[in-house]
Amino acid sequence: MASYKTNDFRKGLKVLLDGEPNLVVESTFRKPGKGNAIYTLKMKNLIRGTVIERNYKGGETIEAADVEEIDAQYLYRQADIFVFMNNTTYDQYELSAEQIDDQWKYLKEGLGCSMVLWNDNPITVTLPNHVELEVTQCEPGAKGDTATNVTKPATVETKAEITVPGFIKEGNVIKVDTRTGDYVERVSN
| Contact yes or no for 103/122 (Cβ under 8 A) | no
Q: Are 113 and 73 within 8 A, CB to CB? A: yes
Domain with CATH 2.30.30.30 in the chain: 3-63
Q: What is the pLDDT of residue 67?
A: 87
Task: Name the amino acid, one letter, at 75.
Answer: L
Give tens-digit pLDDT for 2-16. 889 988 899 888 899
Q: Is the predicted pLDDT of residue 142 greater than 80, yes or no?
A: no
CATH code 2.40.50.140 region(s) in the chain: 67-126, 130-188
The more confident residue out of 189 and 25 is: 25
Q: Which amino acid, residue 161?
A: E
CATH of domain 130-188: 2.40.50.140
Residue 162 pLDDT: 93
The CATH number of the structural domain formed by 3-63 is 2.30.30.30
Cβ neighbour number for residue 117 with a 10 Å cutoff:
19
CA distance 17 to 31: 24
Spell out the residues 6+ positions from residue 80 whose beta carbon is closer than 8 angstroms to its own: 96, 97
Q: Encode pLDDT of 81-109 as tens digits.
A: 999 999 999 999 999 988 888 899 999 99
48-61 CB burial, b ≥16 within 10 A, e <16: eeeeeeeebeeeee
| CATH top class, domain 67-126 | mainly beta
3-class SS at 102? helix
Cα–Cα distance for residue pair 165/172, rounded to 1 Å? 12
Distance CA 82, CA 142 (A): 38
Nearest Cα to 56, choosing from 75, 34, 30?
A: 30
Which among 86, 79, 105 is positioned nearest to 163, based on CA atoms?
105
Distance CA 163, CA 182 (A): 7
